[in-house]
Amino acid sequence: MKKLWVTGVLVLACVAGSAWAQSDVMDTIGYLFESDNDPGVVGFPPSNVGDVLAGVGYVDNISAPLTWSTTDYEYTWVIGGLVSGGAQALGNGSYRIYYTGGSIDILAQAYVSAGYTMPDYGVAPPDPLAMATFSDGDVYLHGAFTNFSLTYNPTTGVGSYVGTLVFELGSHFTELGQELQNPNGLTLAGTVLNDATIPDGYDMETDGHIYYDGTIPTELQSWGEVKNLYR
């Protein structure tokens, strides 16, 4: 599995609280970008009404009751269709964007499959060739967002996101059981960072988690405190 390293000691609005200690479903790493749907134009920042947030990356941990095998499969994720309602100023240079719609696919790509292609972030997304390398596996889980918001400071390049998620189908959907199929019980939350290591065309590096149960409050913490939440 590939691993992204995020550094810095910065102050940001991030997801935190007791819900972080609850059941971990899976961990995600990768990159996000926002487009205004004009070829070659990146829409973030700022985030304008109608801009679309998307991204790709790797799943580097999956917890029981879900089963997985890193020997046989490479696990990736693809997020798309999150439509911005526009950036709202919070003060201190930070903004919050509320999105509607959106979905996430968790994919399992068999190494021995004749159609296997090593995932490649490429440049200037949404390059269809690069995006396809993350989405050419079997659909392990498919989910839809019921809400999603991103808090971001364009000066520091640091932020966080949180969204309620319900998985709807996939080859491992039945492993979730009734409890984890609860539309109000899954949250995707994490941190974002814009720095010099990000491939051309992407806006943010992301390190996230999918948790069971979770309306998670938002509060200010240092980047060091955020990293401790992931250990």
Higher-pLDDT residue of 212 and 225 is: 212
pLDDT of residue 225: 54
Which of 202, 206, 205, 167 has the alpha carbon at shortest distance from 184? 167
Query: What is d(CA 47, CA 99) in angstroms, rounded to the nearest whole number?
Result: 10
- Would you say residue 2 lies in a domain? no
- Would you say residue 141 lies in a domain? yes
pLDDT band of 43, cuts 50, 70, 90 = low
- Would you say residue 155 lies in a domain? yes
- Would you say residue 214 lies in a domain? yes
Q: Is the pLDDT of residue 22 over 70?
A: no
pLDDT of residue 130: 81
- Would you say residue 104 lies in a domain? yes
Q: What is the SS3 assignment for 35-68?
A: ECCCCCCECCCCCCCCCEEEEEEEEEEECCCCCC
- Would you say residue 6 lies in a domain? no
- Would you say residue 4 lies in a domain? no
First CA to last CA across the chain, in angstroms? 18
Per the structure, the complete domain to which residue 94 belongs is given by 13-229
Predicted TM-score (pTM) above 0.75: yes
The percentage of the chain sitting over the pLDDT mark of 70, rounded to a whole number, equals: 75
pLDDT of residue 5: 32
pLDDT band of 127, cuts 50, 70, 90 = confident
Token representation of residue 53: 């947030």
pLDDT band of 164, cuts 50, 70, 90 = very high
User: What is the total count of domains within the chain?
Assistant: 1
- Would you say residue 26 lies in a domain? yes
